[in-house]
Structure 1
C-alpha cells in the first residue's frame, strides 16, 4: 500500500500549514527538475482543492524528494516537489517575480531545465529587466512579462510550467518542443487542474475511468497517443503547445510545427560542411546539458547514439560515470559492447544485470510510475539502470531522439525497397495488391507485395504495430469498428503531403512514437528513481540542423543515419560506428515460454478486474499459443498485461504496489 498520503480535511490542513510559508522562499534561483501541481479556480479557491493539491504532491514525491512546498492565494494553489540540481543550498518554488511596482505579480511552478538561460538573461537585462536570481527559472517569467506568450519560442530546453498572473488573474503555461517533460490536465466545474503526474490529479477526480477510444489506440500502438489518456477523466497538454486559462476557460496554441525541409548537398566539401554542422551543434547541446551543480553521468548501450553522447560529455567532465544494463540470457545484453566503449572513451562504467524474477516482480510498480500504460518492455531495464545510476549521480544524459531526427530506424529504409512497386501506375498497384491478399501466409514476397501496393498513410503508423484493427476485436469485444489508428495519424500526415516518404515517417514518429513511448518511458522511470534524464539530441537547435538533411544523407539501401554516422566517426569508437541498433533488449519472448513467466502472466490474466474490456479467455489462448511455439505473440501479450496492471492499479485498486521511499543524499 502507498504510505505517507495525507488525508483530506484536518490532517491535510496540518500538512499544508507545515509546508506553506511564503516567507521561507529563497529567490536566489529557481532551476530544478521536479514535479508540480496547480489548480486554477474559476472563482474562489476552496480549502478542499488546496488539501487535494497538498495530498497529491506526496503521490509524486519521487520526482522531487529534496523539498516540498505548497502555496495558494484566493484563486490558485501551486504544489511543488524539488529535485535540486543547481544551487543546492538555496532556491525552491513556487518562484515569485514582478516589476518594481508589483514585485510579486507572477508566481510560477516549473519542471525542467532551460539550457540557454544565460543568453536569455543577458538579452533581458539589455532590455532593462532586473533579476533577483541567477538561475534558469526567472528568465521564463521575465520574458513572459516583457514579450508575452511568444517568449516560449525562445526557450531551449525541456520544460513544463504554469505562471499565475495575480493582477490580471490569468494563467499561462507551456510544454517543451518535443514533449520531454509531462503535463496532465483535468477540468472541473470549479476550475482546472494541472500536474506533472496523473496520480496527483486523481486526488481530485477519484479512481480512473477507462477511455475505450484510448484503449483501442493503445492496443495498436503500445502507448496512448497525445493528447489522450487511458483515464477518461484526464488529458495531456501536447508537446510544443502553450496554453492560457482565463475566466475558467482553457485555450491552447501550438507554437512548434516541426517541418523537414531537405537541402541537398553536392560534392565532398558540402558533405563535410554538413557533417561539421552536425557535430558542432551536438557538441554545443551536450555542453549545455552538462550544466549542473551535481554529478552528471550518462547511460551507455551498445549503440552509436548513447556512445556519442558519452564521448562528447567526457570532454566536459573527465570523471564521467556511465551506466548500462542487460539480462542473463545470451543475445539480450549489450553489456560487453558497452564496457568496450567505456574503456575506449576512458570513462568509469557501472553495470546492472536484471533477472527474470526482478522483471516480473517489479513490473506492477513500474506501471504505477507510468500513469498511462506503455507496453514497451525496454521500460524494465531502463528502470533498473536508472536505479543503479541514482546511487552515484543525480543527472544522466541519454541518446533518445537521434533516430527520429537523423533517420535511424531500419523501417525508414523501406521506401527504397518498395520504390519499384510504389512508382507503378495506380491500377497496376491495385491489381498486385489484390493478388497479395490471396497469397498464402508466410509465402516469400507476400509482405513486400502487400506493403508496396498500399499508401504510406495506410502502412506506416509508427514503430510498434501490435494488434491490427481487426485483431483488436478478438481481445476487446466491445471495440468500436469505426475507430482506426488513422484517426491519430491522418491529421499529422495531412501536414506533410509534399514531403519525401522518409521525412513523412520521421514527422509521424515525432507526433506518435517519440512523445508517446520513447520520452514517456525515459521521464517516468528515471524520475521514479529521483534521477534527472537529459536528452541532448532533443534540442531545438539540433533539430534545426537535422531537418534540412537530404534523403540520401539519412538513409541508403543498407545504412541509416548516414550523415550522423559520418559526423560521429571523429568521436565514437570504430566498433560501434556501424553496429546494428539494439538499445536495451528484453527477453520477453523467451520468458513467456518458461514456467515462471508463463505462470506469472496466466495468474494476472485470470485474476484481473479488466474483464469488462479485455476477453480474458482470448488473452489466455494467445499466451498458450505462444508457449506452445505456434507463433511469437509476446508483444501482444505484454501489451495486454500492462493494461491489466494499469487497470487494476488505477481503476479498481486491486493491485497496490509497495512504493519505496529511498533516502538519497541531497548532493552527489
Structure 2
C-alpha cells in the first residue's frame, strides 16, 4: 500500500517544477515510509511513496515501461493490492511479456500495455492509481470498484493535480483551500456526501468503479463497473454454500503478503468469520486485535447501535479459534492527545473519539504487523444495521441510515438555514442516489425498497467508513484489507432476495448460516454492535467543555452561523438515537469542523 500523486499540465514544462512535485510526494510520506520516487516528463509528473508489502526488494515506483519498438514511455504510480496478480501475470507471460520484478505493480503496468484501458475489467483488489501514457499524452486515473482506496483530483484549464489524500493537492500552490456554506450539510454529516464530492471547493474524488481520462481536451470521468440486478435462481442451501465458498476464497487470496499480517477481531459476526477463515489458512497462526477502554465495565451504556461491549465476545471468539489475541485498552482521557494526528491523517474534520481511538489502536497494531484484515462492508452487503429492520425508518422518504437522529443542520442560524436550505439539499441528494439504484423489473414492496436501502448504504455511509479506516491506518504505515468489499462477493449477494438474506428473521442470517460451523454460539448469535465508543464521564465533560468554548469564541469561523441556544439545549439533553452514541456524538462535528477550518486555514464563503 502506498501514496500516489501527480501533476498534468499541457501549458508548462513540468521539468521546471520538480521542487513542487517533490513537496506533493513528500506530503504522503506516512502512507509510504519505505521509499520515495518521482518521474517527470515535459507535461506530466508522477510521485510515489511506498509501503512495501509484496516483493520487498522490487516494485520501486513510479514504474516505467515501453511497448515493443516504442520510444514514448508508459509510467505508473500505484497504490493498492491486486489479489489476482498471479493469475494475470501468468496470462501476460503467455502473451510474451517478460517481468523484471515479482510485484503486482508490474502486472498492472503490463496489463495496460497489453489490453489498454479495458484492462481494468480484469482487476480484482483494492487500488487507486495513475498511468501516464506518453504515446497518447493521456493520463488515466483509476479507483477500485467499492472505493476502498482514495483518489482525489483538482482539474483546471489545461491541467490536473491528483493525490491519494487532499494534502498532496494542497501542497501545490495552484490550489487554495476554500469551502462554502453550501458544503455545511456534508461537513456536519460526511455520510451525505456524493461519491465524487469533498468539502473543498474545486476538489473531487474519483468515484468508485470509475476512471478519469485526462488529455488536452480536459478531464472526462466514466464508469467501468456498476452493480447489475438480475434474478437469483439458487435455492437457499446453494446460496449459503456459494457465499461460504466465495468468502473463503477471497480471504485466502487476501492473506498473500511478505510482511506480518493480523486481523481485527471485535467478536462480531463479520470480523469473527474473517478471522476463522484466516486462522484456518495462515501457516504459523494468526494474531488478532480489538479495542476497549479503561473503566468500560462501569461506564458502558447500551444503545440501539451498541447494545453490548465487544470484549467478552472477542475473547470468546479468540479462544474458539485459538488465535493469539490482544485487547488494546485505551485511557479515554488520552484520546484528545491523538486529535492532531487524526486531523493530519484525514485532511477533513475528524469524528472525534471514533477517529482517535482507531488511530491509537492501529498505532499499537503497527508495532507487530504491517497488514490487517477488517470486516468493513459486512453490514452493507448482508444487511446488518438496526435501521434495516425498523419498518417506519425503511419506508421513510429519505436515507434510512439517518435513523431517528435530529439533523445537525437544524442548529444553523435561521438566516444561514434560509440560504443553505438543508432540507432541500438532503432530498436532492437522496433522489440523486435513489435514481442510480439498479432495479429489477417486477420487484415491488419490501424487496424493491430493500434493494434501494442496501444500495444507499453502499454509497455515503460505506465510503465514509472505508475512508476513515484507510486514513487512520495509512497514517501509521498499516495496510488494512477488507474482504467483504470483494466485488465478486458483492455481485452475488446483491441479487439474493431480502427474504433469503434474513431467512431466520434476523440480520445477516445468510452470512450466519454460511459460517455456522466455524464460530461459538454466543458469537454466532450476537446482535450487531457498532465500533466501540467510550462513555467515560470525563470524556463527555471534555467534549462539553470544548463545545462551550466554541460557542463563546467570537473568533471561531463558525461564529454567526449557529443557533447557539439550540446547540446548548441539545448538548444538555439526552435523546436515544438509533445511529448515535449520545447527543454529544451528534454535536461533535461542530467542534471538529471549527478545528479543521482553523488548522487548514480554509476560507469559508457564503
Q: TM-score when scaled to structure 2?
A: 0.89
Deviation at 1:367, TM superposition (A): 2.0
Deviations 1:437-471 (A, max 9, x none): xxxxxxxxxxx5xx58xx54435365695516655
Task: Report the equivalent of 1:387.
Answer: 363
Task: Report the equivalent of 1:397.
Answer: 373
Task: Report the equivalent of 1:634.
Answer: 584
Task: Report the equivalent of 2:201.
Answer: 232
Deviations 1:112-134 (A, max 9, x none): 01000111122222333333332
Task: Report the equivalent of 1:524.
Answer: 471
Q: 1:542 to 1:511 in 2, by over 3 A?
A: same
Task: Report the equivalent of 2:548.
Answer: 602
Aligned residue runs from structure 1 range 146-295, under 5 A: 146-204=114-172, 205-222=174-191, 224-247=193-216, 249-263=218-232, 265=234, 270-295=235-260
Deviations 1:165-219 (A, max 9, x none): 1122111121000000000101234510110010111112455211332322332
Q: 1:189 to 1:606 in 2, by over 3 A?
A: farther
Task: Report the equivalent of 1:325.
Answer: 291
Deviation at 1:590, TM superposition (A): 4.9
Say if 2:501 and 2:509, in contact at 8 Å, map to a contact too: yes
- 1:555 matched to 2:502: yes
Partner residue of 2:280 out of 307, 310, 315: 315
Task: Report the equivalent of 1:503.
Answer: 451
Deviation at 1:473, TM superposition (A): 5.0
Deviation at 1:348, TM superposition (A): 0.7
Deviations 1:496-550 (A, max 9, x none): 35551111111111122111x1101110000011100000111111112212211
Deviation at 1:552, TM superposition (A): 1.0
Q: What is the CA–CA distance in structure 2 between the aligned matches of 1:157 and 1:474, rounded to whole Å?
A: 47
Task: Report the equivalent of 2:305.
Answer: none
Deviation at 1:251, TM superposition (A): 0.5
SS in 1 for 2:57: coil
SS in 2 for 1:68: strand
Q: What's the Cα RMSD here?
A: 2.7
Partner residue of 1:370 out of 342, 346, 355: 346
Say if 2:158 and 2:216, in contact at 8 Å, map to a contact too: no
Q: What is the CA–CA distance in structure 1 between the aligned matches of 2:479 and 2:510, rounded to whole Å?
A: 29
- 1:299 matched to 2:299: no
Q: What is the CA–CA distance in structure 1 between the aligned matches of 2:404 and 2:259, rounded to whole Å?
A: 37
Deviation at 1:407, TM superposition (A): 1.4
SS in 1 for 2:69: coil
Task: Report the equivalent of 1:489.
Answer: 430
- 1:622 matched to 2:567: yes
Say if 2:379 and 2:508, in contact at 8 Å, map to a contact too: yes
Say if 1:34 and 1:111, in contact at 8 Å, map to a contact too: yes
Q: What is the CA–CA distance in structure 2 between the aligned matches of 1:593 and 1:413, rounded to whole Å?
A: 30
Say if 2:232 and 2:496, in contact at 8 Å, map to a contact too: yes
Task: Report the equivalent of 2:517.
Answer: 570
Q: What is the CA–CA distance in structure 1 between the aligned matches of 2:222 and 2:559, rounded to whole Å?
A: 34
Deviations 1:135-184 (A, max 9, x none): 21122222222222221111000001111111221111210000000001
Say if 2:335 and 2:353, in contact at 8 Å, map to a contact too: no
Task: Report the equivalent of 1:512.
Answer: 460
SS in 2 for 1:242: strand
Say if 2:128 and 2:149, in contact at 8 Å, map to a contact too: yes
Aligned residue runs from structure 1 range 43-192, under 5 A: 43-46=11-14, 49-102=17-70, 105-192=73-160
Out of 544-553 and 216-225, give the one that drifted further: 216-225
Say if 2:339 and 2:352, in contact at 8 Å, map to a contact too: no
Q: 1:645 to 1:589 in 2, by over 3 A?
A: farther
Task: Report the equivalent of 1:15.
Answer: none
Say if 2:7 and 2:44, in contact at 8 Å, map to a contact too: yes
SS in 2 for 1:611: coil
Out of 485-494 and 273-282, give the one that drifted further: 485-494
Say if 1:209 and 1:231, in contact at 8 Å, map to a contact too: yes
Out of 61-70 and 123-132, give the one that drifted further: 123-132
Q: 1:175 to 1:481 in 2, by over 3 A?
A: same
Q: What is the CA–CA distance in structure 2 between the aligned matches of 1:629 and 1:536, rounded to whole Å?
A: 37
Which runs of no fewer than 5 residues in structure 1 stay unpaired? 1-32, 419-447, 654-668
Say if 1:413 and 1:556, in contact at 8 Å, map to a contact too: no
Q: What is the CA–CA distance in structure 1 between the aligned matches of 2:219 and 2:117, rounded to whole Å?
A: 14
SS in 2 for 1:302: coil
Task: Report the equivalent of 2:332.
Answer: 356
Q: What is the CA–CA distance in structure 2 between the aligned matches of 1:61 and 1:614, rounded to whole Å?
A: 38
Q: What is the CA–CA distance in structure 2 between the aligned matches of 1:525 and 1:323, rounded to whole Å?
A: 16
Q: 1:402 to 1:475 in 2, by over 3 A?
A: farther
Q: 1:58 to 1:77 in 2, by over 3 A?
A: same
Task: Report the equivalent of 1:342.
Answer: 318
SS in 2 for 1:84: coil
SS in 1 for 2:49: strand
The size of the alignment, in residue pairs, is: 578
Out of 63-72 and 604-613, give the one that drifted further: 604-613
Q: What is the CA–CA distance in structure 2 between the aligned matches of 1:603 and 1:47, rounded to whole Å?
A: 48
Say if 2:411 and 2:563, in contact at 8 Å, map to a contact too: no
Q: 1:614 to 1:89 in 2, by over 3 A?
A: farther
Deviation at 1:77, TM superposition (A): 0.9
Q: 1:279 to 1:591 in 2, by over 3 A?
A: farther
